[in-house]
């Protein structure tokens, strides 16, 4: 628990982090920072400082993913665990995803993978080649069209649900 509190404090300070999704995962609004400075290099510098501080103070490694949206950043962070640093620019999102397995996408588990495979979608390349309508049909819901946009590096407005609002109250961390 001491380490979790220390990590939360370190994450909040340099990037003005607003949310800790899980004790071992956090994210900050570096996207707003990037819009202001228009330089991915500055976000990388901040992320490297956070990574170094976690290592120096807590003697832990961490993986960092920087991407054009939360989904791509999360996938990027997972590609070089336990001590990686991956940056994906919006123009490179599809190329970055192409060699990865479909299960690299958070939320795609065995059942969804099986549903996609039944529709002959068995690779990220095939998934990314679908149109928004085909993606909705594959998902069986509007979530497919949203996923189409996310896989291209687009950021969608966050939906506020009752569950989300409750967890925000519990997990919201401000500096």
- Could you read off the pLDDT of 97-154 as tens digits, one per residue? 999 999 999 989 999 999 999 999 999 999 999 999 999 999 888 789 999 999 999 9
What contacts 24+ positions apart, CB below 8 Å, involve 48-52? 48/85, 49/14, 50/10, 50/11, 50/14, 50/15, 51/85
81 pLDDT exceeds 70? yes
CB atoms within 10 A of CB 40: 17
What is the model's pLDDT at position 175?
A: 35
Q: What is the pLDDT of residue 13?
A: 55
Task: Please provide the average confidence, as pLDDT, over all residues in the chain.
Answer: 77
What does the pLDDT read at residue 39?
Answer: 63
Q: Are strands 19-22 and 25-27 parallel, antiparallel or unpaired?
A: antiparallel
Decide if pLDDT at 14 tops 80: no
Task: Place 27 in a pLDDT band, splitting at 50, 70 and 90.
Answer: low
């Amino acid at each position: 628990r001491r380490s979790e509190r220390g990590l939360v404090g370190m994450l909040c300070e340099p990037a003005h982090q607003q949310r800790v999704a899980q004790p071992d995962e956090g994210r900050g609004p570096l996207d707003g920072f990037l819009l202001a400075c228009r330089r991915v290099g500055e976000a990388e510098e901040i992320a490297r400082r956070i990574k170094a501080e976690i290592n120096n103070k807590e003697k832990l490694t961490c993986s960092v993913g920087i991407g054009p949206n939360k989904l791509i950043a999360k996938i990027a962070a997972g590609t070089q665990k336990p001590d990686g640093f991956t940056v994906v620019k919006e123009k490179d999102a599809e190329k970055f995803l192409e060699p990865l397995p479909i299960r690299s996408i958070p939320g795609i588990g065995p059942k969804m993978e099986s549903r996609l495979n039944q529709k002959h979608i068995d690779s990220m390349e095939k998934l990314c080649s679908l149109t928004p309508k085909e993606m909705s049909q594959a998902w069986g819901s509007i979530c497919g069209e949203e996923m189409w946009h996310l896989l291209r590096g687009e950021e969608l407005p966050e939906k506020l649900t009752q569950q989300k609002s409750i967890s925000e109250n519990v997990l919201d961390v401000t500096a």
